[in-house]
Amino acid sequence: MAKVLVITGTVSPIEKSYSIALTKSFVKAYIASHPDDELIELDLNTAPMASKTLTRTNQTEYWNEQDAMEYINQLKEVQKVIISSPMNNFNVSGLIKNYLDHILLANQTFSYKYSKKGDAIGLLDHLKVQILTTQGAPFGWYPFGDHTAFLKGTWEFVGAKVCEPILFAGTKVAPIMQMSPDEAVATIADKITKAAKDF
């Protein structure tokens, strides 16, 4: 039995969120294939840590027991992570960015000790990660804003094995924009089911 951490970080209303619909669809398919696994949900909207941004005035207390170590230890205690983010202003949501800023801590999730040529060594190499992302524009419209690649590279940096991400793009253009989030995500149900079974 694996422990699976499901991280969501959209600020959209739940019923209007394509990333929530994508996450729910993936989790449902995952449970069907892995009924004995334990799922732990982390909605960053309800985590005070995710609203705290790193500034020059708070560096000394930013990485503390409650805001950083609690979530780092959580990652060390699970085997899998499902992380979901929409594109906000060409990047991950602010909630996701704040979460990453808290858990990307030297000598906890990565280390330069014993590394070669300055490359970091990831300390979360026990993790398997599935990235679920959405964006309003079709894929490739904003090559400078690839939030999916950003997430993939970040998790690989800390040593995780990252499965092929699922990006659901074009939610703000026809025909997807004329569908409800659930209806839209249903159009890639086969892809979601296969990815969930393999995860």
Distances from the Cα of 110 to the Cαs of 103, 155, 156, 157, in angstroms? 10, 10, 10, 8
For the record, the structure tokens of 165 come out as 């991400």
Cis peptide bond prior to 181, omega within 30° of 0: no
CA distance 144 to 166: 19
Which residue in this structure is represented by tokens 């280390």? 111
Q: Is 115 annotated as a binding residue?
A: no
> Which token pair is 5?
């951490």
Is 19 one of the annotated binding-site residues? yes
Q: Using CB atoms within 10 Å of the CB of residue 149, give its burial: 0 to 12 exposed, 13 to 18 middle, 19+ buried.
A: middle
Q: What is the DSSP letter of 116?
A: S
User: Known binding site for FMN: residues?
Assistant: 17-19
User: Known binding site: residues?
Assistant: 17-19
